[in-house]
Amino acid sequence: MEYYDYGIIGGGPAGYTAGMFLAKQGHSVILFEKDKLGGTCLNKGCIPTKSLLHSSELYAEILSSNSIGVGFENLEFDFSKVVEKKDKTVEKIRKSLELAVKNSGVKTVYAEACIKDKNTITAENNEYKIGNIITATGSKPRELKGLEFDGKFILSSDDVLNLKTLPKSVLIIGSGAIGIEWARIFSNFGTEVTVVEIAEHLIPTADIDVSKRIERIFKQKKVKFYTKDSIEKINDKQVFLKSGAELSPDFILVAVGRSPVLPNYCCDSTIIGDSCGEIQLAHYAIHQAKELALGIPYNKDLIPSIIYGNPEIAWVGKREQDCGDDCKKLLLPITALGKAWCDDATEGFIKLITKEDKIIGAHIVSKEASSLIHMLLTAMQNNISINDMKKLCFAHPTYSEGIFDILINL
């Protein structure tokens, strides 16, 4: 019977990261993956959706390019090639990942694994003795009662990636990252989009100013949305909301988060990634793995959230609605930045929440928000004072100088 210091079930960001770092430290590691390396992020989440989003944004940008002196006639797109590009991107990244895992010394077994006991894993009628078992089995799209997935009219975020043609209209339930990004993808391609959110505002986990700005942007882009609302009933693909609205979408995309997936037996195993039921983000899973393998700690309160699209949305730390009167907030509109006008990307803002000369919350709606947030996260993570941040020289013209423009006024 083969023996390994570590046996990891699940080849997503948590599993493959832990495996590679443990192997590079000299441990013997075996990784079990029943499908494809990369997990949800690479195969059914982050990567394929960003590829589709890029194609849709490029199309939408070209459609509106007359205002900047670039004209096109008879513009059209081939969705089959959009899908082909998405699939090729995923395949290319996966092959690179498979090679990296192999070169690190991790043995990969492509089979469904079961935990027999705290030191034994079985797969394809073989038994493996394991010193330490790590469970990183990920998550699956969460279903709602009455909206169970059928793959035809009620789709999950997994199902929607299999589309070969675009719908004329779509109803999206939920306005988290998944719902907002798919609303942007479909809208950019000309699909009529309606979003239903049970909370009072879109993106309910975000700062209130972020939520209100996205609602304004959706109105401008004619993306319909209903807040404090939900589906009351469905009759023959006719959808009735509790508010009284009636909708006739080609299908419903249920985007209300994901549920942890656990193996048959988890006793005495270390659980990381989405399967632990905490923050379900790939970068959080990666840092859980790094702490386990390398002892590098992370601050659970300083995990950045990003929603991609135009403009990007990013935040970390405290929201305005979390703070009392002892906190100070300052908001800089992106229209204050010369680079934004040059790029024709003036929608959004940079918002800081501070307390006692320290940044405790950062919220950005802007082009390059996914990069900008990390400058502020670095300051927050390392307890750098606002006065010290003011000493930085920010290049001009950039989006990052907007951070300095706020800091200098604090």
Express each pLDDT in 117-163 by its tens digit: 999 999 999 999 999 999 999 999 999 999 999 999 999 999 999 99
Domain ranges, ordered by start, for the chain: 2-140+258-294, 143-254, 303-407
Q: What is the DSSP string of 95-146?
A: HHHHHHHHHHT-EEE-S-EEEEETTEEEETTEEEEEEEEEE---EEEPPBTT
Using a 10 angstrom Cβ sphere, with 0-12 exposed, 13-18 middle and 19 or more buried, the burial of residue 88 is exposed
Report yes or no on whether pTM surpasses 0.85.
yes
Assign 217 to helix, strand or coil. helix
Assign 368 to helix, strand or coil. coil
Q: Is the fold of 2-140+258-294 the same as that of 303-407?
A: no
- Residue 266: per-residue pLDDT: 58
Location of structure tokens 């006639």: 73
- Residue 214: per-residue pLDDT: 98
- Residue 250: per-residue pLDDT: 98
Percent share of the chain, pLDDT over 90: 91
Among the ranges given (19-33, 73-87, 92-106, 339-353), the one the predictor scored with the smallest mean pLDDT: 73-87
CATH of 303-407, one of 3.30.1370.100, 3.90.245.10, 3.30.390.30, 3.40.50.970: 3.30.390.30
Using a 10 angstrom Cβ sphere, with 0-12 exposed, 13-18 middle and 19 or more buried, the burial of residue 92 is exposed
Give the pLDDT confidence of 368-390 residue by residue, as tens digits: 999 999 999 999 999 999 999 99
Q: At the topology level of CATH, where does 2-140+258-294 sit?
A: FAD/NAD(P)-binding domain (3.50.50)
- Residue 264: per-residue pLDDT: 66
Report residue 265's pLDDT band, with 50, 70 and 90 as the boundaries. Answer: low
Q: Is 143-254 in CATH node 1.10.730.10?
A: no
Location of structure tokens 């702490």: 291
Contact in structure between 292 and 165 (CB atoms under 8 Å): no
